[in-house]
Amino acid sequence: MLTSTHSSIARPCCIPRSHIPTPRAVLSGLGGSPAPLIGPPLPQNAHLAYDASPMNSQLFISIHIILIVIHVILITVAYLIYLERKISAYIQDRVGPNRVGPLGLLQPLADGIKFMIKEDYQPHGADKYLFSLAPIAIIIPALIGWAVIPWGGYWDFPGFTVPLVGWVLEPSRVLIAAANVNIGIIYLLAVASLGVYGVTLGGWASNNKYSFFGALRASAGMISYEIPLGLSLLAILLVAGTVHPQSIIESQVAGGWYIISQPIAALLFFVCILAEANRAPFDNAEAEQELVGGYHTEYSSMRFALFFMAEYSHMVTSSAFLIVLFFGGYHLPFIGLTHPAATGLLAVGAKFFVLYFKVLLVISFMMVIRWTVPRIRWDQVMKLAWNNLIPAGIALLIITSVWVYLGWTAWWQLLGMNALLTVLIIALMPLLPRSQTNRKAQLAGSRFSPLPGEQVSTAPTSSAARDDQAPAVPSRETVGA
């Protein structure tokens, strides 16, 4: 049942739409309903007339999904800022926002109004056009990246005639996603790489040295972490054999979630989405102690808010992809309503809420990481990407492709492969060349690190310290006596 479902609905966009038997057509062909015989005879090329219509069922549903989900995401982003402030408050033993509305729940609204009525100022040295362009350039990729996420799986659309216009939408099986493109994962990567433009432009156009350094660091970090991101995705695509997100979920339902069979890839992906979103512990772009606010130092009012919203909607998108790729998407084990084969309206709603809840869990985890893990120095961030994550990603890709060639793609075989790779990495680690830069410098000649052959006294020099230390040894002797 599972495999047949998978193979028949894996690539809906490659099958000509006129060849998909719709439930109603199958029923009217089987049953004794004489209705099709009574009406006027259909023209010979009726299916061509359907294709020429400006609207079809998938497009109609997709537009409605866009209109619903973009509001869900924008409201979620507003409340994620509230959630982040609350989580940071509880971690730091504070209360957090609690003045506006019950439990401070109207705080995002107050923040929005405040952003709106602040002055939108440009420093005199700034590049006028690029300065205006940067917030727009960063919010667009953040807001269009989620287009290929299958929020609710397939739905058996019962057919509908649009009033006033008269478009007839045939009953068919539609995907509850903004865009049912069969290259979904490649679309994600293409859009995610565009985010670096807004950062670079914003930092360069501000004509501020802190912004400039922040933009340099951020763009270098973002492009570096894109490569292990792509390599960890390849390990999944090799096992799934497809780049269509819905098909990846279906193969996970059939063969076990990829968090079990590819844990190294999941770890790489999670680290990379933290770095891509410029989240702690990789938030060197806006390290407050060194760079003021980083690339958005000079931005105020709504333009600053756009940078902020871009970061949070990027978190939503990348967490949703983490869920889709590794945690089974909308699927919960042992619950039939969230199985891809369930295509009713209730199942679609249940799947949407399951996916949304999983995304909120991942985002909360990212927030806890931000407020508990110290920021890594910039050169360590870059070394982690180039010296550790990328070699690990290439090794994972090679060993996964060998395993796929041998046909060992059951979850326990892949888990064994991951264990083998971990053992190999740990065994090879001491043999790799170690970087001597940024080691702790020897204080040559000091009394705590003497030169070879030098005799120094480490006894305390001040009389106060000597007095503190003196009674310790005799008192122990008196106790023993």
| Tokens representing residue 380 in the block | 């360590």
Burial label, 52 (beta-carbon count in 10 A; 0-12, 13-18, 19+):
exposed
Most distant CA atoms of the chain, gap in Å? 116
Shortest Cβ 120–other proteins spacing (Å): 5
Whether the CB-CB separation of 207 and 125 falls below 8 Å is answered with yes
Shortest Cβ 128–other proteins spacing (Å): 13
Out of 185, 324, 348, 417, the residue judged to bind other proteins by CB under 8 A: 185
Binding of other proteins by 296 (CB under 8 A): no
Whether the CB-CB separation of 242 and 186 falls below 8 Å is answered with no
Q: Element (H or E) spanning 346, and its range?
A: helix 345-372
Binding mask 12-51 for other proteins (x = CB under 8 A): -xx-xx---------------------------------x
Whether the CB-CB separation of 403 and 413 falls below 8 Å is answered with yes
Binding of other proteins by 425 (CB under 8 A): no
Q: Which of residues 135-174 bind other proteins (CB under 8 A)?
A: 135-136, 139-140, 143-144, 147
Binding of other proteins by 216 (CB under 8 A): yes
The residue assigned the tokens 């985002």 is 363
Out of 402, 420, 423, 465, the residue judged to bind other proteins by CB under 8 A: 402
Whether the CB-CB separation of 313 and 253 falls below 8 Å is answered with no
Whether the CB-CB separation of 439 and 379 falls below 8 Å is answered with no
Q: Which of residues 429-468 bind other proteins (CB under 8 A)?
A: 435, 437-438
Q: Which of residues 50-69 bind other proteins (CB under 8 A)?
A: 51, 56, 58-59, 62-63, 65-66
Shortest Cβ 463–other proteins spacing (Å): 42
Q: Taking each helix axis from N to C terminus, what angle separates 301-326 and 245-255, rounded to the nearest 10 degrees?
A: 40
Binding mask 196-215 for other proteins (x = CB under 8 A): --------x-xxxxxxx---
Out of 91, 103, 116, 423, the residue judged to bind other proteins by CB under 8 A: 116
Nearer to other proteins, 64 or 94 (CB): 64
Out of 21, 29, 101, 125, the residue judged to bind other proteins by CB under 8 A: 125
Helix (H, G, I), strand (E, B) or coil at 221: helix
Whether the CB-CB separation of 174 and 3 falls below 8 Å is answered with no
Looking at the DSSP bridge assignments, the partners of residue 226 are none
Binding of other proteins by 284 (CB under 8 A): no
Binding of other proteins by 271 (CB under 8 A): no
CA distance 204 to 212: 5
Q: Which of residues 302-361 bind other proteins (CB under 8 A)?
A: 302-303, 305-306
Shortest Cβ 310–other proteins spacing (Å): 9
Angle at 280 between CA 259 and CA 236, to 5 degrees: 25
Which region, judged by CB under 8 A, interacts with other proteins, from 78-86, 329-337, 366-374, 380-388? Answer: 380-388
